[in-house]
Amino acid sequence: MKSTIRCSRYLVSLIIMAFIVQWISPYTISYTVEAKSSCGSGCSRYDVVVIGSEIQGALLAKEAHQLGLKVLILDPRSKQGGQLIQGQMYVLDEPNDKKGRSLVQGDIKKLFDGYKAGTIRKDADFNRYFQSVIKNIPLRSGIVIESVNVVSQKQDKSLKSITYRAKDGVKYTVEAEYFVDNSDFNALTSHLDVKRIPGMESIYNGSKPDYMAATLVLNFKNVNWSKLHQAVLQDYPLTNVREKYGPNTYVDWNYATGFSNITYKYKPLDPQFVLRGINSTYQKDGQVVMNALLIFDVDPADPKSIESAIKKGKAEAPLILKYLRKNIPGYAKAELNGFPEYLYIRDYNRFETEYILDYPDLMSSKMFWDNVSIASYGTDLQATTKIPKGHSYGHPDRYGIPLRSFELKSYENVLVVGSNIGATIKAYGSARIMPNTALAGQTIGIILGKELKNKRLRELTPADFVRIHKYLQKDYRIALQS
């Protein structure tokens, strides 16, 4: 009898133990995986680490995150949002092919659709859009990269980890499968062994690096937009308007461009500035944002250069206001309406990528087997001190941009996005605009999320991209084939 009781108790114990093991096993497995993903004390591991919070890399981060990858955004700027939010670059350029069809695709189309509809025009509207992109993604602002750990492989190098200093002065190390330079001043790539692609100096055979001017976006209130619009309508047809006011002059109920016959006559207080065509968006309620004040010789990698340019721009702004009041219809009672915290940086160093997009690629409407964007826009090179009015080299039809133009040469796991695209200066004049590179950023994020578990980006083949392009069109309505 006692033996039977002992046996029954033993069987009950076994059943209880089995239940306990079954109940705790998921937690045991989770702990084991976490232990394998650890890279040591003070170090964290991620699938993707994005340096900078420009919208292009933010879209990449969003897609990778939503597809289950572990993503971190480290922003060298003190506040998030980059040029779109901190620079208040709300005058959006749209790529259209030669038949006038918009090429805006992907998530950035939500921004452009709202912009056209008038529902995204003011600070709060743009901020809501940006916050929707970075929702639930860890983001740390105000970091400084202290060092990088690069390892050599058979063919290419690999960036194993970076060590950065946070705002609190504490140093952290992160490892990642992929690192992405999404800054406007080479916050990551400046630490690597890379070769610069010649910039604006190549147009006039200069010996020193040269860059397109930056912009301090100007904000106005109490603008009579109806009067501006009516003044232009009275001078129609458009050929008469442009003869009177200058090339590309155009005004509708939402946008205004041109008037360069007037603005170029403005004599700035500081020779670092030029007032180009008014290039404005009407934000409703008499408020206008204007991308017109060009600033030469700004170094985005030098905080003092940025600070000095903004300070000088603020000093110049009241004089510009006075000039606009006198010379531009609808501005007689205009007032300044605050300033952005940052600049719009068009151009800085770009480094060699696996494929460098070139001007003939654009003008021949070349498509690539590894397209991640379909793009267009005039090949507009904005002013420098050597080229005070810039240059234009024509308007290409639609063309492709390959993944290889975002893969940093000789580094197997470093990507560059946004204004860091690998392109010659003439090609860059067109490819640089936000919707072109934003589509590429989103597409790359999707590809990472779907393909990384099986293949590295450099291992993807033309056959893989046939499959990739199909699911991009089916699931995301992103069409990347010719």
Give dist(CA 471, CA 475) in Å, integer. 6
Q: What average pLDDT does range 227-244 have in this prediction?
A: 94
Instruction: Provide mean pLDDT across the span 160-178.
Output: 96
| Alpha carbons 450 and 209: distance in angstroms, whole number | 39
Instruction: Give the end of a domain, one of 336, 356, 387.
Output: 336
Amino acid 12: pLDDT: 41
Query: How many angstroms separate the Cα of 41 from the Cα of each of 45, 179, 471?
Result: 11, 21, 40
Identify the pLDDT of residue 154: 78
Q: Is residue 7 part of a domain?
A: no
Token pair for 69: 């990858």
Q: What is the CB neighbour count within 10 angstroms for residue 354?
A: 19
Cis amide bond preceding 209, omega within 30: no
Q: What are phi and psi of 314, to 5 degrees?
A: -65, -35
Confidence band of 228 (pLDDT split at 50, 70, 90)? very high
- CA–CA distance, 224 with 286 (Å, rounded to integer): 6
Asked if residue 192 is part of any domain, the answer here is yes
Could you tell me the residue range of the domain that residue 397 belongs to?
Answer: 39-201+347-482
The verdict on 265 and 300 lying in the same domain is yes
pLDDT of residue 38: 61
Q: Give the number of other CB atoms < 10 A from CB of residue 467.
A: 13
Q: How much is the CA Rg of the chain, to the nearest whole Å?
A: 26
Q: For the chain, how many structural domains are there in total? A: 2
Same domain? 410 vs 391? yes
Flag the least confident range among 8-22, 82-96, 200-214, 275-289.
8-22
Sequential DSSP letters for 333-384: T-EE----SS-B------B-BSS-B-HHHHHTT---TTEEEEE----EE---
Q: What is the pLDDT of residues 72-123, one digit of tens each?
A: 999 999 999 999 999 999 999 999 999 999 999 999 999 999 999 999 999 9
> Alpha-carbon distance 164 to 172, whole Å?
5
User: For the residues 126-145, what does the mean pLDDT come to?
Assistant: 98
Burial class (CB in 10 A: 0-12, 13-18, 19+), 6: exposed
* Two structure tokens written together for 192: 């690597």
Please indicate, yes or no, if residue 342 is contained in any of the structural domains: no
Query: Do 167 and 285 reside in the same domain of the chain?
Result: no
How confident is the prediction for the chain on average, in pLDDT?
92
Kindly report which listed range (3-12, 215-224, 236-245) carries the lowest average pLDDT score. Answer: 3-12
C-alpha closest to that of 361 among 391, 392, 405, 303: 405
User: Is residue 65 in a domain?
Assistant: yes
pLDDT at 155: 83
**Contact 250/262 with Cβ under 8 angstroms?**
no
Tell me the percentage of the chain whose pLDDT exceeds 90. Answer: 89
Q: What is the pLDDT of residues 349-404, one digit of tens each?
A: 999 999 999 999 999 999 999 999 999 999 999 999 999 889 999 999 999 999 99
In a domain, 6, yes or no: no
Query: Do residues 67 and 158 both lie within one domain?
Result: yes
CB-hemisphere CA count at 13 Å for 266?
31
Residues 377 and 245 in one domain: no
387 plus 469 within the same structural domain: yes
CATH of the domain at 414: 3.50.50.60
Does the pLDDT of residue 2 top 90, yes or no? no
Regarding whether 183 and 47 lie in a shared domain, the answer is yes
Please name which of 63, 117, 121 lies closest in space to residue 281, comparing C-alpha atoms: 121
Helix (H) or strand (E) holding 180, with range, is strand 171-181
Mean pLDDT of 190-218: 97
- Report the predicted TM-score, pTM, of the whole model to 2 decimal places: 0.91
**Shared-domain flag, residues 320 and 421:** no
CA 160/CA 156 separation, integer angstroms:
12
**Looking at 271, 301, 336, which one is the last position of a domain?**
336
Residues 224 and 325 in one domain: yes
Same domain, 268 and 356: no
Q: Are residues 117 and 257 in the same domain?
A: no
Burial classification of residue 36, based on how many CB atoms lie within 10 Å of its CB (0-12 exposed, 13-18 middle, 19 or more buried): exposed
Give 416's pLDDT tier (boundaries 50, 70, 90).
very high
Q: Is the pLDDT of residue 16 over 90?
A: no
The span from the CA of 214 to the CA of 431, in Å, is: 17
Domain shared by 193 and 62, yes or no: yes
Q: What distance in Å separates the CA atoms of residue 445 and residue 62, rounded to the nearest whole number?
A: 7
Could you tell me if 47 and 71 are in contact, meaning their C-beta atoms sit under 8 angstroms apart?
Answer: yes
Residue 251 domain flag: yes
